[in-house]
Amino acid sequence: MVKRLVVASRNKKKIEEIKNIMEEAGYLAVSVEETGQEVDVVEDGNTFEANSLKKAFEVMKACGEVALADDSGLEVDALDGQPGVFSARFSGEGATDEKNNAKLLEMMKHIPAGERQARFVCAVTVAFPDYSYFTVRGECKGEILFEPRGKSGFGYDPLFYLPEYRKTFAELDSKTKNLISHRAEALAKAKEMLMNGKRRKTLEDRNTE
């Protein structure tokens, strides 16, 4: 019997990507809207893991079903991990991809080539109706260019350069990007956890760590 997996996202492309990956684990990914519920979560955690955990549990409690949530962003070594959990709103109120990229380039204008290492990070949490859960993390390492390149993708993709491919995320074809991205790695780990039934934590476990 196929089990449902409620995805804490309104992004149809993301839901479709998750649906394709989780089918092999015996789960049918659906949106919150498809359950007839409405969930609005304030992402106020200090880490990607905290935000994904909060979203997954809010959706699980509202829908009464297994829920999956992710949170992702960019970490730049020379900026002590910024923009981090503030990636989407890095340039402040009214933030856009263009404004965020412009702020990042301005902050890094004096950082030389060879010292511009960065990583995209994605944390995925799956929460279950018995209040157990697991969280996994995916990363994709690269470096920040001095100017944007490429027309596809979104967010910081035009600035995020992968030396082994000699392209930015915005220059890669979608098939390649979806194979090597931070989200792809995290979702693959989540699928493996669902398939092999590894022990899951509870919130009580987390509070005693």
Residue range 88-144, pLDDT digits in tens: 999 999 999 999 999 999 999 999 999 999 999 999 999 999 999 999 999 999 999
205 vs 24, residue with greater confidence:
24
Domain of residue 81: give its range.
3-203
Going by C-beta distance under 8 Å and a sequence separation of 6 or more, which residues neighbour residue 138? 121, 122, 124, 181, 182, 183, 184, 185, 186, 187, 188, 189
The confidence score (pLDDT) of residue 107 equals 98
- On whether residue 209 sits in a domain, the answer given is no
* 40, 44, 71, 205: the active-site residue: 71
**pTM of this structure:** 0.88
Question: Is 40 in the active site?
Answer: no
In this structure, how many other beta carbons lie within 10 angstroms of the beta carbon of residue 113?
9
- On whether residue 15 sits in a domain, the answer given is yes
The domain total for the chain is 1
> How far is the C-alpha of 133 from the C-alpha of 125, rounded, in Å?
7
CATH number at residue 143: 3.90.950.10
